[in-house]
Amino acid sequence: MKRWLPLSAVLFCGLFGPVEVAHSEPVSEEFNLERHLKRSLKESIREGLLHHNLREHLRPYDKKGVFVIGRESTTDAHDITLTYRQRESYLRRRWRATPSGQEAVFIRQFKLTHDGDHAFVDLETTLHFFGGVRTERTRHKVRVDGRSSRVIHTRIWPTHETLSGLTTVYNEAHWDSVDEAAFKLILSPNTSWQMLFQTMLTAHWYPLLFEYLKDTSAARPKDPEVWKALAAIAYLCGDMQLVKRAIKKARRLNPEITLPMALK
């Protein structure tokens, strides 16, 4: 039976001499899966961070999946767990502003492992933006079904951040330091709610801070700054209904109050 070469191969032969047509071995399933996940996850990251394209960013994720935002690679009491819908709402607010066009993203240390019907992908993402750089690690648990896949669990934690020339390394020493500062303020009888808010925010004590500010808003219902702070931490914790109520309350108490883009 005759074998026909594609036109591109014929042209190549005419320009560079004879071409040997080799029969390649079938590509392994593992190699195909790795290539597929690399492509889909990298496209997801770039579409989100560079273009704020929420639909394309969330394409690889299962709508019943969860996102865990933590301080480190291991679980602790400061983790925030978001549903797909909560993560979607969070990013929709976060990406309201149009990208400046000066952003650049680098994806490194892609590692794939297997366990039965699931694959695990670890990677590092570095985002360069106007005024800073942020690096974070991500661990995905992926359900694999033949040649299709869906991310069902994602854990995200920061490793480095540079803002206005000041660099923070999010390692064990850093967390020990900010935890100690937060404990000292909690035990101090003269600590203001503003100081506690800022210190606990720096320490990423988000769940505890959320409860603290709900109590503070009940104790100081006429303070618009308390409601603004409650809206901010409710946003981080994925309670978008409370975000709306707290913003409405803050604006009612102070129509001139300034709000970040994500809370407007």
pTM, two decimal places: 0.85
Asked whether residue 18 carries a pLDDT value surpassing 70, the answer given is no
Using 50, 70 and 90 to split pLDDT, how confident is the model at 146?
confident
The answer to whether the beta carbons of residues 242 and 220 sit under 8 Å apart is no
CB count, 10 Å around CB of 212?
19
How far is the CA of 101 from the CAs of 42, 45, 50, 165, 171, in angstroms? 18, 16, 8, 21, 31
pLDDT at residue 7, as a whole number: 36
CA distance 19 to 168: 55
- Amino acid in position 115: D
29-168 is a CATH 3.10.450.50 domain: yes
Look at residue 236 and give its three-state secondary structure.
Answer: helix
Look at residue 159 and give its three-state secondary structure.
Answer: strand
Q: Tell me the domain boundaries of the chain.
A: 29-168, 172-263
Quick one: which of 202, 199, 128 has its CA closest to 163?
128
pLDDT at residue 116, as a whole number: 83
pLDDT in tens, 176-190: 999 999 999 999 988
pLDDT at residue 23, as a whole number: 39
Helix (H) or strand (E) holding 151: strand 148-163
User: What are the beta bridge partners of residue 134?
Assistant: 127, 161
pLDDT at residue 10, as a whole number: 34
Asked whether residue 11 carries a pLDDT value surpassing 60, the answer given is no
CA distance 141 to 151: 6
pLDDT in tens, 48-62: 999 999 999 999 999
pLDDT at residue 257, as a whole number: 97
Which of the 8 DSSP states describes residue 21? -
Q: What is the CATH number of domain 172-263?
A: 1.25.40.10
pLDDT in tens, 69-117: 999 999 999 999 999 999 999 999 999 989 999 999 999 999 999 888 8
The chain-wide mean pLDDT, for the chain, equals: 89
pLDDT at residue 9, as a whole number: 40
